[in-house]
Amino acid sequence: MAEGWRYLLDRATTGNAEEPPWLDRPAIGRTAVSGWRIYELFDQLNASSAYAAQVKPFNFLNVAFPRRGERDASERVVLVAPFESDPERWLEMGWIDRYTGDVYRITTNRSEGRVRPGLVEVRTYRDILDYYLVHLEPKSLAPDGTPCRPPTSGLLRRRPLTPTHITHIGKEANSLDDVEAGLVRDLVEVANAYADAERDLDTLRNALREIGTREVARRAGLGHSTVSAFLQHENPSTPRAAALDKLHEVARTHQRSQPEADESNGS
């Protein structure tokens, strides 16, 4: 980690950094066999192995990370393997797809991974560190007060936020750990949301009332009577989805256009 941060700081400050010798190795993580669905992936391997060599509950695992775009967006691929600390073995080992149970080998060669079946191109430590230099920081603003962009640098500012609605979610602590470890590709696979539709609509109404019925109707391209009935809660039915989307967009655009709160007054 220390070598990686020194490399990043040298690149960011001088543009001339000595590359660590491990930079182009596969970026391999470590996690544990913490659930039955992960343990079952190794049924075939365990059936042909002596007990001492089998993967057991709470053993450590290696996790490899397929390069984005390497597979079709609808195809989920998360690769795990029995724990191996020797980097020389990583490219020769069999890796099991957590979703299908299929066995693959991995490569860091872009052209090789796209022409050979059974081979998956994975991210390297170079890929991971490159991302650190350009990743967005959504919780902060750039030094000039604008939203952060990939090339943003310098002392970031606090970003004031205005909550627009509340969504209740479940904790699912074990599943969230799987997301962090790379065993689950997307957070939406494990996050349970419990929506309160009526409360969300009340929040939207309050935001739009600040703009005014006539102006909301103009910005959304909707009839004045439609907007008025929604804001006054006179119509028991919810507007059509397309109309509701337009109203949400008007509210979001209005909130983004509001002047930034003065940080000196504690806002």
Strand positions, DSSP E, the chain: 28-32, 60-64, 79-82, 95-97, 103-107, 119-121, 140-141, 157-158, 168-169, 193-194
Q: What pLDDT score was predicted for residue 254?
A: 85
Question: Which tens digits make up the pLDDT trace of 2-12?
Answer: 999 999 999 88
Domains of the chain: 2-130 (no CATH), 136-193 (no CATH), 196-259 (1.10.260)
Q: What pLDDT score was predicted for residue 129?
A: 92
Please, what are the averages of pLDDT over each run of 10 residues along the chain (267 residues)?
92 88 93 82 84 89 81 66 92 87 88 70 92 86 90 89 72 57 58 66 87 92 89 70 86 74 39
Q: What pLDDT score was predicted for residue 7?
A: 94
Question: Which tens digits make up the pLDDT trace of 34-70?
Answer: 778 778 878 888 888 889 888 899 899 999 988 876 5
Q: In this structure, are residues 209 and 231 in contact, taking their beta carbons and an 8 Å threshold?
A: yes
Question: Which tens digits make up the pLDDT trace of 121-143?
Answer: 999 999 999 988 888 888 899 99
